[in-house]
Amino acid sequence: MPSKVDRKCKSCPTLIARESKTGLCSGCFRAARAAATPSASMASDRERLRTQEAFADLRRKYSEALKTISQQERELRAVSDLGDGLETYHIEPAKGSGKSEATAIMVASDWHVEENVGREVGGLNTFNIDIARQRANKFFQKGLRLTNLLAQDISIPTIVLALLGDFITNDIHSTDKNEELPIHALITAQSMIASGVEFLLRESKYNLVIPCHSGNHARTTKQTQFESENGHSLEYLMYIHLAAYFRHEPRVKFIIPEGMHSYVQIYDQTIRFHHGHAVKYGGGVGGIYIPVNKAIAQWNKGRHADLDVFGHFHQMRDGGNFICNGSLIGYNAFALSIKADFEPPKQALFLIDKKRGRTCTWPILVK
């Protein structure tokens, strides 16, 4: 008598006999027997192992995250505690009182307007008349801008515009690198300077005091003639022309000395201006500092100056008791020959405060 069919298989909805010992239908029973083979058991074990490793890795990352959170909470509490105990005090904004006074000094020298520069310095600098005009314009524009910035906090009634020579290269050595003949170059330099003075007068209310000195390049003799330098200097003639051109301008005063030095008294400070070619520098390891200080010590025996201002060496240096101006032409064959440090073309600007003396020295970058 066949078994009574009245219950379902454990793995599927198929009806099976009540008396079935496995509780499975024939199909599920065969599948179960196949799954019980060694290969299937190994696959199951490998899957279970991967699951356990993934779970262990997750627990490890979770534990590390908890440690990081705990460390950050401690650091946050430490920062909070530090802020709670911090004491501050109030700083008032600094404002110019307007009661003090200063004089700005812009130094112009060593322009060499007609000289071409290029391959002889390995491409470190390029210069010609067009570039000279651009740099001269920047000298006056940036010099006025710096002065105006300083004038926000202190009264500056006067700019001393020191013209310290070597505005042309001339033909005393060679004409191979010159773009213009000496007289034409002098006219070009004169035009640049006059245009700059007119710019300062037009764009500001400052008075201008202009000490003028001849350099060693504008001479008409083969050798430098210190005892009669002005009589052999094309730049001296240029200064006379400039003074005549501005003779009716009440805000302009030219100082054209007959000797090597000019002395300008600015408050209680005596400033000695000159070109600088009387200082003998042979390219020593210490640079210009030793020969300059030796020269200053000797000159001070005759007439003391608090500060010497000069050019000639194509390198801007602040020696404390002297300021050596940079050059407009920049690095050229001369700078290479005297072993001067390479520097971009620049001129000097500094401030003499009525109460404190010299308070700042800035380069006017013209490139």
> Phi-psi bin for 344: left (phi > 0), alpha (psi -120 to 50), beta?
beta
Segments in 303-347 forming alpha helices (H): 333-337
Question: Which residues contact residue 120 at a Cβ distance below 8 angstroms, ignoring those fewer than 6 apart?
Answer: 177, 332, 333, 336
Say how far apart CA 342 and CA 339 lie, in whole Å.
Answer: 9
248-277 pLDDT, tens digit each: 999 999 999 998 999 999 999 999 999 999
Which residue, 205, 64, 33, 181, is CA-closest to 114? Answer: 181
Cβ pair 311, 300 in contact under 8 A:
no
| Mean of per-residue pLDDT scores for the chain | 88
For position 82, what pLDDT does the model report? 63
pTM: 0.74
Question: Which residues contact residue 204 at a Cβ distance below 8 angstroms, ignoring those fewer than 6 apart?
Answer: 144, 147, 148, 159
27, containing H or E segment = helix 26-35
For position 5, what pLDDT does the model report? 58
- For residue 283, what are its two tokens? 């390219």
- For residue 68, what are its two tokens? 């990081």
Cβ pair 318, 100 in contact under 8 A:
no
Cβ pair 152, 140 in contact under 8 A:
no
- For residue 187, what are its two tokens? 């006219």
128-140 pLDDT, tens digit each: 999 999 999 999 9
Cβ pair 144, 200 in contact under 8 A:
yes
- What would the mean pLDDT of 363-367 be, rounded to a whole number? 96
* In the block, residue with structure tokens 């020295």: 361
Residue 351 burial (C-beta neighbours within 10 Å; 0-12, 13-18, 19+): buried
- For residue 28, what are its two tokens? 């599920």
Model confidence at 1, in pLDDT bands (50, 70, 90)?
Answer: very low
81-114 pLDDT, tens digit each: 665 666 777 777 766 665 789 999 999 999 999 9
- For residue 291, what are its two tokens? 């020969």
